[in-house]
């Protein structure tokens, strides 16, 4: 809508900081708990269990040492046991329970290790002469490492799913109904069965589980490496991940902000006034930092300079009353126009301040006069539905000056009340309406977080999620 203006604004921003775009304009810090939740929520354990329950366990066991689905090197079993295995009436997976995922960040090796522990209960149905049902419980860990790779040329960071394997040190087999003395033959059989299970089932489960876990992780990584973008009056503002690192047990994703104008050119939002600080998570499962320049770019995209005509009789009447109180002013006021320039945002601890210059033009039939003023408002930040929303509240009006007048000179200070009224009753509600659309933040919605708390700091805004309900 206002490409030329927008261009001027962003070029202006660009000029403020010509050295180094290296430091990101936004940082997302994710704790292991958040990653765990992100993956778990996508894990369709029903589908997984369904798939595993159909594993051909029976044919594996009954095939004895010979028919192990190409698994090769299995222990040579005695002929007796082989015969007994042939007598097994049924083998099935009774229950599979996927336990709580474990996420470990290996900062030195730049790995994220995802462990999917599973409890598998197997039921073996023996002929009557040998006893009854045997319940065997298998506990195994499927492990996948995600590597953080940096492209040596572009410097861009990619997350890559590595090998998926079953952690052999973590396999445990328990006989659930091993009560009382057993016949020697049954004992032999049990040993043979557990032996075979131990050597085959984890491998089989791994073969089934790994592609699913890999797919899931690819999905999660795509999400973590996703950009967030928003069209604001024809300009696209995009936050694109530019760095990923593991630091102090936290995964950190840095974002670069770009603005694509309708003409197709890209402008990189320059780094903030100061590099974004380190923000420890504390109790929060995730937090996010936004630079003052990024927030400023967002605000300017929403509030591109414009002029608004006011025809509302209430506003005009209220303004006229104030004018009438000025000594010597006569004549009816019929129309008002307020125009505003690019807002300037500044952040200090606990405070977001926005200043903008406005011109108020006052008309009867003709132009009467123009007053210029600086409006200072305080910004309140809220995050809902994954979007950041800034709301402006009037703090004060300064620097009133009469720019031109066809009704002679008068002391514009007397208009402070009238203009404050106009700003708080008309201009700011209008701007807050434009800002209400909000700017979608990266990852927040995807992480299933409804609400973030906001804490303005020196030149950076900190947003943090409340502790997760377990
Ligand atoms: C008023 O104008 C002066 C001079 O242009 C400027 O230094 C000052 O910051 C302005 N005050 C406000 C509140 O913007
Ligand atoms: C008065 O000043 C404003 C702001 O500079 C300008 O837009 C407008 O054209 C001027 N009007 C007259 C009648 O000079």
More confident residue, 116 or 70: 116
Whether pTM exceeds 0.95: no
In this structure, the residues whose C-beta lies within 6 A of any atom of ligand 2 are: 359, 367, 370, 403-404
- At 272 the pLDDT is 75
Task: State the pLDDT at residue 445.
Answer: 86
Which residues on neighbouring strands pair with residue 157, listed in sequence order?
150
Ligand nearest to the CA of 358: 2
Q: Would you say the CB of residue 372 lies under 6 angstroms from ligand 1?
A: no
- CA dist., res. 268 & res. 237, Å (int): 10
Tokens standing for residue 469: 């309900």
- CA-nearest of 450, 447, 23, 12 to 228 is 447
Q: How far is the CA of 3 from the centre of ligand 2 (A)?
A: 24
Kindly give the number of the ligand 1 atom that is closest to the alpha carbon of 374.
14
- The answer, yes or no, to whether residue 467 has pLDDT greater than 50, is yes
- Does pLDDT of 259 surpass 60? yes
Ligand 1, atom 1, residue with closest C-alpha: 399
Q: What is the reported pLDDT for 123?
A: 81
Cα(399) to centroid(ligand 1), Å: 6
Report pLDDT for 185. Answer: 61
Residue range 34-224 in CATH 3.15.10.10: yes
Mean pLDDT of the chain, nearest integer: 80
| Tokens of residue 105, six digits | 């960040």
CA 330 to chain centre: 59
Cα angle for residues 136, 141, 142 (degrees, 5° grid): 120
Identify the top-confidence range among 213-217, 225-229, 247-251, 261-265.
247-251
Q: What is the 3-state secondary structure (H, E, C) of the chain?
A: CCHHHHHHHHHHHHHHCCCCCCCCCEEEEECHHHHHHHHHHHCCHHHHHHHHHCCCHHHHHHCCCCCCCCCCCCCCCCHHHHHHHHCCCEEEEEEEEECCCEEEEECCCCEEEEEEEEEEEEEEECCHHHCCEEEEEEEEEEEEEEEEEECCCCCCEEEEEEEEEECHHHCEEEECCCCCCCCHHHHHHHHHHHHHHHHHHHHHHHHHHHHHHHHHHHHHHHHHCCCEEEEECCEEEEEEEEEEEEECCEEEEEEEEEEECCCCCEEECCCCCCCCCCCCCCCCCEEEEEEHHHHHHHHHHHCCCEEEEECCHHHHHHHHHHHHHCCCCCCCCCEEEEEECCCEEEEECCEEEEEEEEEEEEECCCEEEEEEEEEEEEEEEEEECCEEEEEEEEEEEEEEEEEEECCCCCCHHHHHHHHHHHHHHHHHHHHHHHHCCCEECCCCCCCCCCEEEEEEECCEEEEECCCCCC
Cα 454 to averaged position of ligand 1 atoms, centre (Å): 29
Give residue limits of the domains in the chain.
Answer: 8-18+290-470, 34-224
Of residues 136 and 258, the one with the higher pLDDT is 258
Both tokens of 155, joined, read 């410097």
Decide: 357 in ligand 1 pocket, CB within 6 A.
Answer: no
What is the pLDDT at residue 20? 38
Q: Which residue has the higher pLDDT, 166 or 354?
A: 354
Residue bearing the bigger pLDDT, 178 or 190: 190
Predicted pLDDT of residue 243: 84
C-beta of 399 in contact with ligand 1 (< 6 A): yes
Closest CA to 51 of 157, 213, 205, 276: 205
pLDDT (0 to 100) of residue 463: 96
Q: How far apart are CA 416 and CA 418, in angstroms?
A: 6
pLDDT by residue (tens digit) across 118-145? Answer: 888 888 777 766 666 777 788 888 888 8
> Which numbered atom of ligand 2 lies nearest the CA of 404?
1
Q: Which two tokens stand for residue 1?
A: 């809508």
d(CA 74, CA 77): 9
Residue 219, phi then psi, degrees to nearest 5 = -60, -45
Q: How far apart, in Å, are the Cα atoms of 79 and each of 64, 84, 158? A: 10, 9, 53
Tokens of 162: 């590595």
Q: How far apart are CA 374 and CA 401, in angstroms?
A: 10
Q: Which ligand is nearest to the CA of 363?
A: 2
Q: What is the pLDDT of residues 403-454, one digit of tens each?
A: 999 888 888 888 899 999 999 999 999 999 999 989 889 888 888 888 899 9
**Confidence band, pLDDT 50/70/90 cuts, at residue 106:** confident
Mean pLDDT of 168-182: 60
| Whole-angstrom distance, CA of residue 361 vs CA of residue 389 | 30
b/e per residue 301-323 (b: at least 16 CB within 10 A):
bbbbbeeeebeeeebbebbbebb
β-pairing verdict for 367-384 and 451-457: antiparallel
Higher pLDDT, 182 or 379: 379
Model pLDDT for residues 181-224, shown as the tens digit of each residue: 555 666 666 677 777 777 777 777 777 777 877 788 888 888 88
Q: How confident is the model at residue 172 (pLDDT cuts 50, 70, 90)?
A: low
Lowest mean pLDDT among 62-76, 117-131, 222-236: 62-76
Q: Which ligand has the shortest distance to the CA of 404? A: 2
CA distance 165 to 72: 18
Q: What is the mean pLDDT of residues 270-292?
A: 89
The CATH architecture that domain 8-18+290-470 belongs to is: Super Roll (3.15)
Instruction: Among 404, 407, 408, say which to mutate for ligand 2: greatest number of ligand atoms within 8 Å of CB.
Output: 404
Q: Is the CB of 398 under 6 A from ligand 1?
A: yes
pLDDT at 301 over 90: no
| Cα–ligand 2 centroid distance for 307 (angstroms) | 13
Structure confidence by residue, pLDDT tens digits, 316-373: 888 888 887 776 666 788 999 999 999 999 999 999 999 999 999 999 888 999 999 9
Cα 35–chain centre separation = 11
Tell which atom from ligand 1 comes closest to the C-alpha of 399: 1
């Amino acid at each position: 809508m206002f490409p030329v203006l927008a261009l001027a604004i962003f070029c202006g921003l660009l000029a403020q900081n010509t050295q180094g775009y290296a430091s990101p304009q936004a940082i997302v810090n994710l704790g292991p708990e958040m990653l765990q939740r992100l993956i778990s929520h996508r894990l369709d354990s029903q589908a997984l269990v369904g798939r595993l329950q159909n594993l051909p366990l029976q044919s594996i066991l009954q095939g004895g040492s010979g028919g192990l689905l190409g698994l090769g090197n299995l222990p040579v079993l005695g002929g007796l046991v082989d015969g007994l295995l042939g007598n097994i009436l049924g083998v099935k997976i009774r229950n599979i329970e996927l336990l709580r995922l474990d996420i470990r960040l290996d900062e030195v090796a730049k790995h994220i290790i995802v462990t999917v522990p599973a409890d598998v209960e197997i039921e073996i149905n023996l002929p009557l002469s040998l006893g009854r049902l045997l319940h065997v419980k298998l506990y195994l860990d499927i492990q996948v490492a995600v590597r953080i790779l940096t492209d040596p040329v572009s410097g861009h960071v990619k997350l890559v799913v590595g090998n998926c394997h079953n952690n052999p040190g973590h396999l445990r087999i328990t006989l659930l109904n091993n009560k009382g003395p057993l016949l020697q033959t049954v004992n032999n059989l049990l040993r043979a069965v557990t032996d075979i299970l131990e050597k085959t089932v984890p491998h089989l489960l791994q073969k089934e589980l790994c592609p699913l876990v890999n797919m899931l992780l690819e999905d999660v990584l795509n999400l973590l490496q996703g950009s967030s973008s928003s069209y604001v009056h024809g300009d696209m503002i995009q936050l694109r991940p530019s760095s990923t690192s593991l630091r102090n047990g936290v995964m950190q994703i840095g974002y670069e902000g770009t603005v694509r104008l309708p003409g197709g050119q890209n402008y990189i939002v320059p780094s903030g006034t100061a590099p974004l600080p380190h923000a420890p998570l504390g109790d929060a499962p995730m937090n996010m930092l936004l630079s003052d320049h990024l927030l400023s770019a967002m605000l300017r995209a929403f509030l591109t300079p414009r002029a608004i005509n006011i025809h509302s009789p209430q506003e005009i009447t209220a303004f006229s009353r104030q004018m009438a109180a000025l000594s010597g002013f006569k004549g009816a006021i019929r129309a008002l126009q307020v125009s505003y320039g690019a807002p300037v945002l500044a952040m200090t601890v606990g405070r977001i301040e926005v200043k903008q210059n406005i011109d108020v033009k006052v008309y009867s039939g003709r132009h009467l006069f123009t007053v210029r003023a600086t409006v200072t408002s305080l910004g309140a930040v809220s995050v809902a539905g994954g979007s950041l929303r800034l709301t402006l509240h009037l703090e004060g009006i300064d620097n009133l000056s009469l720019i031109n007048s066809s009704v002679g000179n008068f002391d514009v200070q007397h208009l402070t009340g009238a203009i404050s009224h106009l700003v708080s009753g008309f201009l700011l509600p209008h701007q807050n309406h434009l800002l209400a659309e909000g700017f979608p933040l990266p990852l927040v919605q995807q992480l299933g977080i409804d609400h973030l708390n906001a804490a303005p700091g020196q030149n950076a805004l900190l947003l943090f999620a409340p502790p997760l309900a377990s």
